Amino acid sequence: MHCIADVSLHNSTTPAVSPFDGFSLAAPLWVIETRQGGAFAEVTYLQAEAWGSQYLLAFTSEEKAARAILTLGVSERARATQVAGDDQRVEMVTVVCQIGAHGILVDLDPSTRQCAWSRLLLAAA
Protein backbone atom coordinates (compact mmCIF):
# COMPACT_ATOMS: atom_id res chain seq x y z
CA MET A 1 0.00 0.00 0.00
CA HIS A 2 1.35 3.42 -0.93
CA CYS A 3 0.76 6.54 1.09
CA ILE A 4 -0.48 9.34 -1.13
CA ALA A 5 -0.57 12.95 -0.03
CA ASP A 6 -3.76 14.75 -0.99
CA VAL A 7 -2.31 17.69 -2.90
CA SER A 8 -2.96 19.29 -6.24
CA LEU A 9 -0.36 21.67 -7.59
CA HIS A 10 -0.88 25.08 -9.12
CA ASN A 11 1.51 24.40 -12.03
CA SER A 12 0.04 22.66 -15.07
CA THR A 13 3.08 21.02 -16.67
CA THR A 14 6.35 19.43 -15.75
CA PRO A 15 9.33 18.70 -17.99
CA ALA A 16 9.98 15.08 -18.92
CA VAL A 17 13.38 13.42 -18.90
CA SER A 18 14.18 10.39 -20.99
CA PRO A 19 16.31 7.61 -19.48
CA PHE A 20 19.11 8.72 -21.78
CA ASP A 21 19.29 12.23 -20.30
CA GLY A 22 21.64 12.81 -17.40
CA PHE A 23 19.85 12.69 -14.04
CA SER A 24 22.11 13.74 -11.24
CA LEU A 25 21.70 15.17 -7.78
CA ALA A 26 23.82 18.16 -6.88
CA ALA A 27 23.19 17.53 -3.18
CA PRO A 28 21.57 14.89 -0.98
CA LEU A 29 17.79 14.69 -0.89
CA TRP A 30 15.47 13.54 1.89
CA VAL A 31 12.36 11.44 1.31
CA ILE A 32 9.52 10.70 3.73
CA GLU A 33 9.46 7.08 4.83
CA THR A 34 6.08 5.84 6.03
CA ARG A 35 4.70 2.68 7.59
CA GLN A 36 1.05 1.79 7.18
CA GLY A 37 -0.25 -0.45 9.95
CA GLY A 38 2.37 -0.43 12.71
CA ALA A 39 6.04 -1.02 13.41
CA PHE A 40 6.26 -4.24 11.39
CA ALA A 41 4.47 -2.88 8.32
CA GLU A 42 6.26 -2.52 5.01
CA VAL A 43 8.16 0.74 4.52
CA THR A 44 7.04 2.92 1.65
CA TYR A 45 7.61 6.55 0.68
CA LEU A 46 5.20 9.45 0.66
CA GLN A 47 3.88 10.42 -2.74
CA ALA A 48 1.61 13.10 -4.15
CA GLU A 49 -0.66 13.07 -7.16
CA ALA A 50 -0.10 15.83 -9.69
CA TRP A 51 -0.85 16.18 -13.40
CA GLY A 52 -2.58 12.79 -13.36
CA SER A 53 0.51 10.91 -12.11
CA GLN A 54 2.11 9.89 -8.81
CA TYR A 55 5.30 11.67 -7.72
CA LEU A 56 7.76 10.84 -4.97
CA LEU A 57 8.10 13.74 -2.51
CA ALA A 58 11.74 14.75 -2.02
CA PHE A 59 13.26 17.61 -0.04
CA THR A 60 16.56 19.49 -0.11
CA SER A 61 16.81 19.56 3.68
CA GLU A 62 15.69 17.47 6.63
CA GLU A 63 13.95 20.55 8.05
CA LYS A 64 11.76 20.98 4.94
CA ALA A 65 10.83 17.29 5.06
CA ALA A 66 9.98 17.57 8.77
CA ARG A 67 7.73 20.60 8.11
CA ALA A 68 5.90 18.66 5.39
CA ILE A 69 5.42 15.71 7.76
CA LEU A 70 3.84 18.00 10.35
CA THR A 71 1.70 19.89 7.83
CA LEU A 72 0.42 16.67 6.24
CA GLY A 73 -0.38 15.22 9.69
CA VAL A 74 1.59 12.00 9.22
CA SER A 75 4.10 12.41 12.08
CA GLU A 76 2.83 9.28 13.87
CA ARG A 77 3.96 7.02 11.04
CA ALA A 78 6.53 8.97 9.02
CA ARG A 79 10.13 10.13 9.21
CA ALA A 80 12.56 11.95 6.96
CA THR A 81 15.27 9.72 5.48
CA GLN A 82 18.29 10.96 3.57
CA VAL A 83 18.96 9.43 0.17
CA ALA A 84 22.64 8.63 0.59
CA GLY A 85 25.30 6.40 -0.82
CA ASP A 86 27.99 6.45 -3.45
CA ASP A 87 25.52 6.72 -6.28
CA GLN A 88 22.61 8.83 -5.07
CA ARG A 89 21.23 9.15 -8.58
CA VAL A 90 20.69 5.41 -8.89
CA GLU A 91 19.22 5.17 -5.40
CA MET A 92 16.69 7.95 -6.07
CA VAL A 93 15.60 6.41 -9.38
CA THR A 94 15.33 3.02 -7.64
CA VAL A 95 13.01 4.46 -4.97
CA VAL A 96 10.87 6.11 -7.66
CA CYS A 97 10.57 2.79 -9.50
CA GLN A 98 9.91 0.75 -6.32
CA ILE A 99 6.85 2.79 -5.43
CA GLY A 100 5.58 3.11 -8.98
CA ALA A 101 5.90 6.89 -9.15
CA HIS A 102 6.39 8.65 -12.46
CA GLY A 103 8.73 11.34 -11.12
CA ILE A 104 9.72 13.49 -8.17
CA LEU A 105 8.44 16.72 -6.61
CA VAL A 106 11.12 18.65 -4.76
CA ASP A 107 10.44 20.83 -1.71
CA LEU A 108 6.65 20.63 -1.79
CA ASP A 109 5.06 23.05 0.66
CA PRO A 110 1.72 21.38 1.46
CA SER A 111 0.25 24.60 2.85
CA THR A 112 0.73 26.51 -0.43
CA ARG A 113 0.71 23.48 -2.76
CA GLN A 114 3.84 24.82 -4.45
CA CYS A 115 7.08 22.97 -5.11
CA ALA A 116 10.55 24.17 -6.05
CA TRP A 117 10.66 21.91 -9.10
CA SER A 118 9.40 18.62 -10.43
CA ARG A 119 10.72 16.08 -12.86
CA LEU A 120 8.81 13.41 -14.76
CA LEU A 121 11.05 10.38 -15.26
CA LEU A 122 10.22 8.33 -18.32
CA ALA A 123 11.22 4.69 -18.03
CA ALA A 124 12.54 2.72 -20.95
CA ALA A 125 10.40 -0.24 -21.96
DSSP conformational letter for 42: P
Residue 43 confidence (pLDDT): 79
Q: What is the CATH number of the domain that holds 71?
A: 3.40.1350
Taking the C-alpha atoms of residue 64 and residue 44, their distance in angstroms, rounded to an integer, is 19
Domain range spanning residue 73?
Answer: 28-121
Does the residue 16 lie in any domain? no
Phi, psi values for residue 35, rounded to 5°: -130, 125
In a domain, 11, yes or no: no
pLDDT in tens, the chain (125 residues): 334 444 444 343 445 544 434 445 567 789 998 887 766 777 788 888 888 888 889 999 999 999 999 999 999 889 998 887 656 566 667 777 777 888 889 999 988 888 888 887 765 43
Give domain status of residue 71, yes or no.
yes
Rounded-to-integer distance, Cα 53 and Cα 20, Å: 21
On whether residue 19 sits in a domain, the answer given is no
Q: What is the pTM of this model?
A: 0.71
Tell me how many domains the chain contains. 1
